[in-house]
Structure 1
Amino acid sequence: MEMESLPNGPGAAASKLTESLKLEHQFLRVPFEHLKKSMRANHRIVDKEMNAVISGVADAVAPDRDMSKEEAVHHLTCLVSKLQGLKRKLEEGTRTEHLQAQKCRARLDHLDVAEIENHSEWNSMRLKRILVDYMLRLSYYDTAMKLAETSNMQDLVDIEVFLDAKKVIDALQNKEVAPALAWCAENKSRLRKSKSKFEFQLRLQEFIELVRADNNLRAITYARKYLAPWGATHMKELQRVIATLAFKGNTECATYKVLFEPKQWDYLVEQFKHEFCRLYGMTLEPLLNIYLQAGLSALKTPLCYEDDCTKEDPLSQESFRKLALPLPFSKQHHSKLVCYITKELMDFDNPPLVLPNGYVYSTKALEEMAKKNDGKITCPRTGLVFNYTELVKAYIS
């Protein structure tokens, strides 16, 4: 028994393509979330700058404020400069929003099934997108950018978003928390809604570094300012970390020694990647892993691990078997028979015929063979020759 070949023809290809679009949630959401983030940032800038200008005007016309002509001119000049600065920031922000909206439009056009003429070319582009996603997640940024550039698909991949994340990851790997804390501040409302502990973990690590450096007074001041507000929800973890003031950085007590180990920074990097993916609606696993696992699981049957497994089955290869080992077997409600000779599905219109030696082939294949050999059938597996009249029809239930 072999795997059923995929359906051919424009209709079948379009149907398969429509089904595949259900997996493109991340493809559309990431640029949309990036656009929303830019719009929120621009809105905050406008609020901040306009409030400052309005406050400055109110201060200038206050009844108790006695300004000379020179002071008034200087004051108004400063306000005008602020407004000009705001105008430049808004122009830059508008350009950024326009580019991100353009990226959203490019992706919608890319997924428009009605406009796709070459399905093979579209699938090839999709594979490249998946490879770029894989490279970006594994920090192969230069290779990812080169592939995106040579394939002319910059609008279809999320390089800019991952480069922003790279700054935070590089800083954490260098044991610096400032960029990560700035990222938390930018996305404070979103992180609060998801009940994220990432900022708290960063604060704890900063406290641990102060204790490691024997800056106990600074550590206590830091704890009062940045850790105390988390006490209501994370008291147990807070008490454990505060206790390091007594145990010191060179403690041998396993409960507290682990807090000073370098792997805590690796944990923060992984936690940031998790929060980053969740913020943008990305899958935690690379798309390449997900598609490989889904494909291998769909192909995996107990027969794949038998010695007589056909070589045309991908899981006959040891490398694929190893990848599929932890995956579940495919749930097959009905068996599908594929002809060994023609590789076509054996069904009601092309029923299977059984040779006297027990091997089964499709009616279409054996009829063609009989026509070419004066009614004789040669079994391609054993080489035995039979008359076509000896064949028995098999029925699929």
Structure 2
Amino acid sequence: MELNTFKDSFERIAKKQKLSCSLTKELIDQVSQEIEHTLSSIQSGKAADIHQRLILANQKAKDAVVGSNNQSVGMLRELNINITKFQKLLEKLFNPDISKACRDIDFEPGIVNQIIINHFYREGQFDIVDCLLKEAGEDEPISLKLQFKEIHEILEGIKCRNFEPALSWVAANRDKLNESGSDLELKLHKLQFVDILQNQGRAGALKYARMHLGPLASCHMTELQKLMGSLLWGAKLEKSPYADLVSPVLWEELAGEIMRTFCNFAGQSFQNPLKVALAAGLEGLPTLLKLVNFMSPNTQEWQDMKQLPVAVELGEEFRFHSVFVCPVSREQASEENPPMMLPCGHVLCKQSIHKLSKGNSRGFKCPYCPLDASAAQCRQLYF
């Protein structure tokens, strides 16, 4: 359901509601004035009893005329109908029947369980994983569990300003960190230095610097000079030129970098696979629901469909691989139509090469340079 349709429907109801309120107020004011006039005539005491009855009958006749000519009743009835339609529109928009977009696909229970287990390990919910393993009858992934327990202990230590678990992990993986060009060890020591300076004073910070920062001087002299300059301000860093050293953002960035580096070394994706899959599904769900509603008379076609007839656009955050579009056919590469590199270095999709070579029966000229090629000379590329 398009958002513009929702907004237009809401605006129509709002206009009708304002008009209905205005007409009702005018009616109430008119009837109120008539009643006050009638009461004033009766209470004057000058009118005879029969005359008072005539006044009441006249008032009753006026009320009947006002009631028969009342436009607000029809307006309220129309407003109620529109509100009912709008309610149904809201239900379709915010509470759709997503089961329509489901297909009868046989999932491998073991793989699904492993995805869920990985998710809860990442979240540190180890008790939930133990319960799931027991009920599903799955083998406990000891190595994975120990890895994520270690990283959660490190992150919990960072929250409590306890750097020992993180520094021990960095020391054990120093070679890998150096190979990847990571300065994680320096960042840990910097935050530890600043924390000691604020809580223990200059003497404690200087002692820590001599013990731990000295070996890093050859590679990070500029950073260490900045830290030494901060010694002059002691516990008043917040009001100094070195205020950025005590920014809370540094702690958040450090925790994120530790998690990213840990996942890289452990062969795990930094982003939670289950969360990514759910987020991508939610973004593509409206398009799928529209397609299913359009194809509802022929549901079997939806079940048998191997490729969607429409594009499901996802955001840039869901693009994890290179996407190649053939410059000749303007079609995106796929497993059935992979990118192929010509001897000259230009790349086309397999189907385009098949057409240019007339079914692989003869050579052809590259569309972008004067060099000749044949289908047998082309090599498939893997992104």
TM-score normalised by the chain length of structure 1: 0.44
Query: Of the two, which has the highest radius of gyration?
Result: 2
Higher normalized contact order (CA 8 Å, seq sep 6+, divided by chain length) = 1
